[in-house]
């Protein structure tokens, strides 16, 4: 059986619900016999001073790059699989085990949203809130190189969020067809609103995508900062015993 190391990072000052999500990951890791490492803002030390200066306070982009560098560092000294999980990810099935048959994988989200014409669509694409690599991965080093190259060449005033995260993975996946893990997904605010109340159009749209049961759910903290949204997150965590 392949050894697994789980990595997480979060600022010391964070919402309590994020800490509850992290505890669910730590407890699940212990249950499954996975090593678990968690650090704070020192994760940004993995980004070169020049790129940190250019990115300034754009911490989500910094984190997208820093997590790759940290994974690289861990793989230089550890055997097996190193897996990154975002801090705002809740484990909803603690019996689930990470697949260990591939050298590279990413989570796959089914993002449900209402379109302008009043219809609903489910977009299935890779995300970097959950991703794993072994030392034999041909993807990790290239992803680091490409991410740094994009940031170096980008106009500092127009660096888009997710530029070296999900947007980059989606573009590369069209060519590379990565191994994706649909059990490690993400939930849109519209879908979460129905999951904690009653089913509606968003739920029906999701069900039509015929997804497997979720084991890990990224709750997308950047999109859940209103009082109403936080109440939904609280309900979801309580329902799942977090």
Number of domains in the chain: 1
Q: Give the span between the Cα atoms of 164 and 159, in whole angstroms.
A: 10
Residue range(s) defining the domain that contains residue 153: 4-239
In this predicted structure, the answer to whether residue 33 has a pLDDT above a threshold of 80 is: yes
Read out DSSP for 85-115?
Answer: E-TTEEES-TT-----S-SEEEEEEEEEEE-
Structural tokens at position 17: 């619900």
Torsions phi, psi for 9 (to 5 deg): -150, 145
Longest dimension (CA), the chain: 52
CATH number at residue 161: 3.90.550
pTM: 0.95
- Mean pLDDT of the 152-180 span: 88
- Mean pLDDT of the 41-57 span: 91
Q: What is the pLDDT of residue 58?
A: 86
Structural tokens at position 113: 């949203």
pLDDT tens digits, 173-186:
999 999 999 999 99
- Mean pLDDT of the 190-211 span: 93
């Amino acid at each position: 059986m392949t050894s697994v190391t789980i990595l997480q990072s979060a600022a010391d000052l964070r919402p309590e619900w994020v800490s509850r999500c992290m505890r669910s990951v730590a407890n699940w890791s212990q249950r499954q016999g996975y090593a678990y490492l968690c650090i704070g803002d020192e994760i940004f030390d993995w980004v070169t001073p020049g790129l940190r200066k250019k990115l300034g306070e754009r911490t989500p982009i910094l984190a997208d790059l820093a997590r790759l560098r940290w994974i690289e560092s861990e793989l230089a000294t550890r055997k097996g699989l190193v897996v990154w999980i975002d801090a705002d990810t809740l484990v909803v099935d603690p019996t689930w085990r990470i697949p260990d048959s591939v050298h590279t994988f990413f989570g796959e989200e089914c993002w449900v949203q209402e379109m302008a014409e009043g219809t609903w669509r489910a977009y299935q694409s890779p995300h970097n809130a959950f991703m794993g690599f072994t030392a034999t991965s041909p993807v990790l080093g290239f992803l680091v190189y490409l991410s740094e190259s994009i940031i170096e060449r980008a106009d500092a005033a127009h660096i888009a969020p997710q530029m070296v995260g999900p947007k980059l993975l989606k573009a590369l996946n069209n060519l590379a067809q990565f191994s994706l893990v649909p059990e490690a997904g993400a939930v849109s605010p519209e879908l979460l609103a129905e999951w904690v109340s009653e089913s509606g159009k968003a739920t029906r749209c999701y069900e039509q995508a015929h997804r497997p049961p979720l084991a890990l759910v990224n709750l997308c903290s950047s999109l859940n900062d209103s009082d109403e949204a936080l109440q939904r997150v609280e309900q979801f965590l309580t329902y799942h015993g977090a």
